[in-house]
């Protein structure tokens, strides 16, 4: 892929997005400084854009053309590298990559994919090789179902979603009951999976169909690799579920919450809006909005919320 943009273009773009304020004179040769890619500041390449936040690095080893850095960065006086101080270099760098790294997205249904009967496939949808789409599945415009993913019958997936390789959407969850003779038998799962717009689901993640109610993934939710979302779970919009997370059946994860890698949320628990469950946390009780919980079992370690009468009985 050809990447070629100038510092002038970059600064204008960041200024449009409120991440940079130009004084009009800091970089008089900005149109002549060009970048043809991106690299880490710890392994920077000539002719690229990099970013830095930490100050503990070998400045002499930086080879990038331009580095977005913190406002208080103590940059070397004699250097060929152009440093651009700003309040939030991390966000600025991420937006720059999204703007100037234009990877062509695939479209169409691969000949090796399997699509069931009665499906509704939107415009510019991609279904990759060996993906399997069950009957009566609805897939919104611009959504990508990558190779070897499986979407079971009666699932609804919104617009601009990405389901990565190996993901399984809509399979039965873990639901058994003993028969009169004492043997376990499978309880049929009669619910569905409903996924909103702009959702991304990582490789080898499983989202179980509802046992009675639907499993619901809200708009703009991001789910990492190797996660398990159990039956009848509801995940609110903009929640972040990172890698190797387990969400138990009938749990509710509210809007804008963050579940860190390896966390386990017990069945039926509610994780409050804008809260955070730390890495490896085992959440056995409800988490209040804006709380940060960690540990086994998970307990609050901080909060941005004013205490209320609801505090009693939550993760305390």
Catalytic positions: 231
3-state SS, one letter per residue, for 107-140:
CEECCCCEECCCCEECCCCEECCCCEECCCCEEC
Compute the radius of gyration of the chain from its Cα atoms. Answer: 24
Residues 6+ away with beta carbon under 8 Å from 159:
122, 140, 141, 142, 143, 197, 198
Contact yes or no for 278/261 (Cβ under 8 A)? no
Q: Count CA atoms closer than 13 A to 39's CA, side-chain side.
A: 17
Which letter does DSSP use for residue 258 in this model? E
User: Buried (b) or exposed (e) across 175-194, using 16+ Cβ within 10 A?
Assistant: beeeeeeeeeeeeebebbbb
Measured CA to CA, the distance from residue 285 to residue 151 in angstroms comes to 32
Q: Which token pair is 72?
A: 């208080």
> What does the alpha-carbon distance between residue 270 and residue 265 come to, in Å, rounded to a whole number?
9
Tokens 């720059």 belong to 96
Residue 61, burial from CB neighbour count under 10 angstroms (0-12, 13-18, 19+): exposed
Residue 294 bridge partners (DSSP): 299
CA dist 226 to 72, 262, 302, Å?
39, 10, 28
CB 286 within 8 A of CB 267: no
CA 303 distance to own-chain centroid: 23
Cβ neighbours, 10 Å, residue 71? 9
């Amino acid at each position: 892929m050809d990447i070629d943009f100038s510092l002038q273009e970059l600064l204008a773009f960041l200024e449009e997005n409120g991440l940079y304020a130009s004084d009009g004179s800091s970089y008089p040769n900005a149109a002549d400084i060009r970048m043809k890619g991106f690299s880490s500041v710890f392994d920077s390449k000539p002719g690229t854009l990099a970013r830095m936040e930490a100050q503990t690095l070998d400045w002499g080893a930086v080879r990038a053309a331009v580095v977005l850095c913190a406002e208080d960065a103590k940059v070397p006086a004699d250097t060929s590298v152009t440093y651009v101080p700003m309040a939030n270099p991390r966000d600025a760098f991420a937006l720059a990559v999204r703007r100037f790294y234009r990877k062509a997205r695939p479209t169409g249904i691969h000949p090796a994919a399997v699509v069931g009967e009665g499906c509704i496939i939107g415009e510019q949808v991609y279904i990759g090789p060996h993906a399997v789409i069950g009957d009566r599945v609805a897939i919104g415009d611009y959504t990508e179902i990558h190779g070897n993913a499986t979407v079971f019958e009666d699932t609804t997936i919104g617009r601009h979603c990405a389901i990565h390789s190996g993901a399984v959407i809509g399979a039965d969850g873990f639901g058994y009951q003993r028969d009169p003779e004492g043997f376990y038998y499978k309880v049929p799962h009669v619910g569905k999976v409903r996924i909103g717009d702009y959702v991304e689901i990582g490789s080898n993640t499983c989202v179980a169909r509802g046992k009675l109610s639907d499993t619901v993934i809200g708009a703009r939710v991001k789910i990492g690799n190797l996660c398990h979302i159990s039956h009848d779970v509801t995940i609110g919009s903009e929640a972040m579920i990172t890698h190797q997370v387990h969400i138990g059946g009938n749990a509710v994860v509210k809007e804008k919450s963050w579940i860190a890698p390896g966390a386990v949320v017990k069945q039926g628990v509610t994780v409050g809006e804008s809260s955070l469950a730390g890495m490896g946390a085992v959440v056995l009780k409800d988490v209040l909005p804006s709380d940060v919980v960690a540990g086994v079992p998970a307990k609050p370690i901080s909060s941005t919320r004013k205490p209320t009468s609801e505090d009693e009985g939550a993760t305390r």
